[in-house]
Chain A
Amino acid sequence: MGTMLFEAGLTSGDSPERWNVERPDVIRGVHRAYQAAGSRILLTNTFGGNRFRLALHGLETRVPELNEAAARLAAEVAHAPGGNAVVAGDIGPSGGILAPLGDLERHDAVKGFAEQAAALHAGGVDVFWIETMSALEEVEAALEGVRQVAPGMPVVITLSFDTHGHTMMGVSPEQAAKELTALGAAAVGGNCGLGPAELLPAMVAMHATVPDAVLVAKPNAGLPVLEDGRAVYRGSPEEMADYARRLTAAGVRIIGACCGSAPAHLRAMAEALGVTA
C-alpha cells in the first residue's frame, strides 16, 4: 500500500492514514488493483494507524475516524458484488519499546491498540492483521487490545526478522512460532524485514517448529538499493513469483508482498500459485 501511495504522490512526512479520508478514491483504487491482480486478502491502509504513530503527525485524536474509514474502503472493494477478498485490519507497531525496557507502559499500549482495533472492527474487517512486530511483549499488548474489543475474531500475527535472522528485539523464528501459536493466533509468520531470500529460512524454521500452524510470508520485493538518493526495490515480479513457489514448498499457506511491491508482483505471484483473479 505505502509504495503505491508514494507513486500516487504521498510525500515524505505525510501520514498515509490521512488519505483514508482525504483521498479515498486513491485508496479504493489500490485495493481494486490488488484484488484484480489476484489478491485474496486486502490489508487496510492503517499500518501507522495507532495513536502512538498518528501522534507524530498530530492526528492522535482521529484514530477512530481514520481506521474506520480505512476498513470501509477495503470492505467496499472486497465485499462488493464480484469481490472475492477478505479484509484484514492492519495493525503495525507503536514505534516505542514497552516498559520496563522502554517508556511505553503496557496498559497504555493495550488501550491504544484496542482503540484502533475497535475502529477497524466498526468499519467491517474480517480478520485482524498484526504485523512487522519485533517484540513479543508488544504483540501480546496488541492482541489483548484486539480481544478486548473483538473477542472471537481471527488474528494473524507476523514479525519482522531483519537482524541476524531474528527480530530487532532478538526473537528467533522458532521462538516466534511457538509463542505466537500459543497465544492463539489464527496464522503466524514473517513480513517486511529484508527480502524473500532472507525470509525463506525463517519460514522453514517456523514450519519445522510448528508443522500444523498456518504460516504467512509477506516479504519485501527484494532488498532496497539506492539510486540517486532514492531507495528502489529491485525485486521483479518474476523473482517474487519464484519465491512464492519456494515459500509454498516450505509449508507457507498465505503469501503476500510488503514494501516495494505493486499489483504486477501480486499478479505474477498469484499466477505462479495457480490463483486466477
Chain B
Amino acid sequence: MSDLSQLPLEELLEQIQDNLYGGQPEPVVAGVHELLRRGLTPYDALTKGLIAGMDVVGEDFRTGKLFVPQVLMAAKAMKAGMEVLRPLLAETGAPRIGTLVIGTVKGDIHDIGKNLVGMMMEGAGFQVVNLGINTDVEKFLHAVREHAADILGMSALLTTTMPYMRVVIQALKESGLREKLIVLVGGAPLNADFAKQIGADAYCRDAAKAVETAKRLMAEKMGGALV
C-alpha cells in the first residue's frame, strides 16, 4: 500500500471508495483513520468516503454490473470502516441519518434479500436493527418503539405471506406509531400497487432502490436537510 499521508485528499477518497468496491476491509479502515488524522469530521469521513463509495456499489448492483457476492464483500468492508466511525459520530453529535427496523414477515423464512437491504442501508449510514425471519406484529411493534425507528422495512417472498404486511401496518396505526414512521416493503411478488393498497409508503424493488427511497423519504421527513 502506498503511503496514505502523501495522497491528495481527492485521491485518498477515491482510494477508499475503490477499496470498498473491491471489498477490502483493512485498506478501508486505514483510509478512514487517515481522513480523521487530517482533521475531517467523522461525519464527513462517513459521507464523503464510505457512503459515496457504497453509492457506486449500489448503482452497479442495480444495473447488473455487480451481484450479491460483491455487494456482501463491499458491505463487510463498509462495516469495518463504520466501526471506526460509529463511536466518534455519537461523540461529535453528527447529524443522525436514521434508524431502520427490518424483518421478514410472519410465516416467511426468506432472508437473503432482506439482509442485503439491511447491509446496503448500513452502507448508507443508517442504524439497522435486523429482526430476522418469521417476524410477528408484536416483535415489529416492540422493536419500532425500543429503537425509536424512523423506518420500518418489511419483506416477503411468498404470495401467501405478503398480506401480513397489512396486518402490521394496521397494528402500527392502532398503536399510534404509524404516522411518524416510514414504512417500506419489498420482496419478489410485490409491486407498487400492493404497497399502496396496504398503506405502506413505498415498494422498493431492490436494495439499491430501498436506500434511495429511504434517503428521499427521510429528507422529506426531516425537512430536506440530509445527505
Contacts and interface: CB of A to CB of B under 8 A. Distances in A.
A56 B162 contact: no
B175 interface: no
Interface stretch (B2-10, B84-92, B105-113, B140-148): B105-113
Nearest to A164: B64
A181 to B, nearest CB: 22
B133 A56 contact: yes
Contacts of A224: 159, 189
A12 interface: yes
Contacts of A13: 106-108, 160-161
A101 B107 contact: no
A152 interface: no
Contacts of B66: 170
Contacts of A134: 68
B201 to A, nearest CB: 18
B110 A170 contact: no
Interface string B47-80: 0000000000000000110111110110000000
Best-surrounded residue of B63, B69, B107, B189 (most CB of chain A within 10 A): B69
Nearest to B164: A12
B64 A226 contact: no
Contacts of B73: 101
Given A12-B107, A13-B160, A56-B133, A229 B72 contact: no
A166 to B, nearest CB: 6
Nearest to A170: B67
Contacts of A169: 67-69
Contacts of B69: 101, 135, 169-170
A229 B197 contact: yes
A52 to B, nearest CB: 10
Interface in B101-142: 106-112, 133-134
Interface bin, chain A:
20 to 34
Interface in A19-59: 53, 56
B interface secondary structure, majority: loop
A19 to B, nearest CB: 15
Chain A interface, DSSP helix/strand/loop, else mixed:
loop
B193 interface: yes
Given A12-B158, A95-B110, A166-B67, A231 B189 contact: yes
A163 interface: yes
Interface string B187-223: 0011101100100000000000000000000000000
Interface in B157-193: 158-163, 189-191, 193
Contacts of A135: 69
B61 to A, nearest CB: 10
A95 B158 CA distance: 14
Interface string A6-23: 100001110000000000
A168 B112 contact: yes
A12 B189 CA distance: 14
Given A102-B72, A163-B67, A166-B67, A231 B159 contact: yes
B160 A6 contact: yes
Contacts of A164: 63-64
Nearest to B116: A168
Interface string A127-169: 0000000110000000000000000000000000001111111
B109 A95 contact: yes
Interface in A196-249: 224, 226, 229-231
A264 interface: no
A169 B110 CA distance: 16
Contacts of A101: 69, 72-73
Contacts of A6: 160
Contacts of B109: 53, 56, 95
A226 B192 CA distance: 11
A3 to B, nearest CB: 11
26 contacts: A6-B160, A12-B107, A12-B158, A12-B160, A13-B161, A56-B109, A56-B134, A95-B109, A95-B111, A95-B112, A97-B72, A97-B112, A134-B68, A165-B64, A167-B67, A168-B68, A168-B112, A170-B68, A224-B159, A226-B191, A226-B193, A229-B162, A229-B163, A229-B194, A229-B197, A231-B189
Q: Which 6 A-B pairs have the closest CB atoms?
A: A170-B67, A12-B160, A164-B64, A13-B107, A231-B159, A56-B109
Given A12-B107, A13-B106, 5 more contacts: A97-B72, A170-B66, A170-B68, A229-B197, A231-B159
